Amino acid sequence: MIHCYSWPTPNGIKIHTMLEETGVEYEIHGIDITKGDQFKPSFLKFSPNNKMPAIIDTDGPGGKPISVFESGAILMYLAEKTGKFMPKSPRQRIEVIQWLMFQMGGLGPMLGQANFWRKYSPVKVPYALTRYTNEAGRLYNVLDNRLRKHEYLANDKYSIADMAVWPWIIPYFQGVKLDDYKNLKRWYLEIEMRPAVQRGLKILAERQAPGKAIKMDKAAKEKLYGKTQRDAYKRKVAA
Ligand SMILES: N[C@@H](CCC(=O)N[C@@H](CS)C(=O)NCC(=O)O)C(=O)O
């Protein structure tokens, strides 16, 4: 059984999609990041970076429980466990991994910044707005170029790389228009129609709708961007 500790943000949605796509047995535990669930010692024990998603597999390698944090690592773990959405041949495998890493190291962090500066920052900083909106456009263009001649990001086959990128293309506040990237739009709409993607989008959606602004009152902003977050560096946890 996979226990998935998550919230329906892009990083959470990619795992919800994978759970549904593989049909693995799972249970969802909501980590409401606006309420500070990510700082609870019980969560930090297996997610030491105070971020969701994280999973615990009660039936890990050797039949023993294992925990995994970082969404890219979780996708790779679940692909390995189920034998799905990650090819076996080294040449095809590295193609999936490189697009997964592109999402983890570039697309996610940069679009996260674009969303933050455009929507959540209490101050509007023109330089930051321009920098991250331009970067979002540049990254969309990289994907659009790739998808001009390829049906999916890696090996022309739907994989964990597509699952990782897709929720980041859901229109949040990136400041780019999907209509301007026709290959990316074709890919986005095709994946959106997958029944497992639709089921994944329903997970925890009654508490936070995918694609909508994170409901943030003053206390939530404090948790995510204020003292609670700043003081986290002092915390001593055994992970
Ligand atoms: N690289 C991490 C990023 C995860 C991440 O940024 N999670 C955010 C929500 S999307 C979070 O938990 N934020 C809570 C916090 O920063 O306190 C991953 O892909 O798993």
What is the C-alpha separation between 12 and 201, in angstroms, rounded?
A: 10
Report the atom number in ligand 1 closest to the C-alpha of 69: 20
50 pocket-lining for ligand 1 (C-beta < 6 Å): yes
Q: What is the pLDDT of residue 158?
A: 98
Ligand 1 center from residue 91 Cα (angstroms): 30
Q: Does the structure show a pLDDT above 80 at 233?
A: no
68 pocket-lining for ligand 1 (C-beta < 6 Å): no
210 membership: H or E segment, kind and range: none
103 pocket-lining for ligand 1 (C-beta < 6 Å): no
Domains in the chain with CATH codes:
2-84+197-234 (3.40.30.10), 90-194 (1.20.1050.10)
Ligand 1 center from residue 193 Cα (angstroms): 26
CB 7 within 8 A of CB 30: yes
Specify the residue with its C-alpha closest to ligand 1, atom 5: 51
Ligand 1 center from residue 14 Cα (angstroms): 12
Q: What is the pLDDT of residue 65?
A: 98
Residue 135 tokens read as: 């970067």
Q: CB within 8 A of 229, min separation 6: which ones?
A: 223
Ligand 1 center from residue 38 Cα (angstroms): 9
- 2-11, 54-63, 215-224 — which is least confidently predicted? 215-224
**Which of 6, 7, 11 maximizes ligand 1 atoms within 8 Å of its Cβ, making it the mutation to test the pocket?**
11
Q: What is the pLDDT of residue 239?
A: 53
Q: Does the structure show a pLDDT above 90 at 236?
A: no
Under the banding of pLDDT at 50, 70 and 90, the label for residue 215 is confident
Specify the residue with its C-alpha closest to ligand 1, atom 2: 70
- 51-60, 213-222, 230-239 — which is least confidently predicted? 230-239
Q: Model's pTM, two decimal places?
A: 0.96
Per-residue pLDDT tens for 129-178? Answer: 999 999 999 999 999 999 999 999 999 999 999 999 999 999 889 999 99
Report the atom number in ligand 1 closest to the C-alpha of 71: 20
What is the C-alpha separation between 160 and 154, in angstroms, rounded?
A: 9
Q: CB within 8 A of 172, min separation 6: which ones?
A: 10, 111, 115, 119, 211, 213
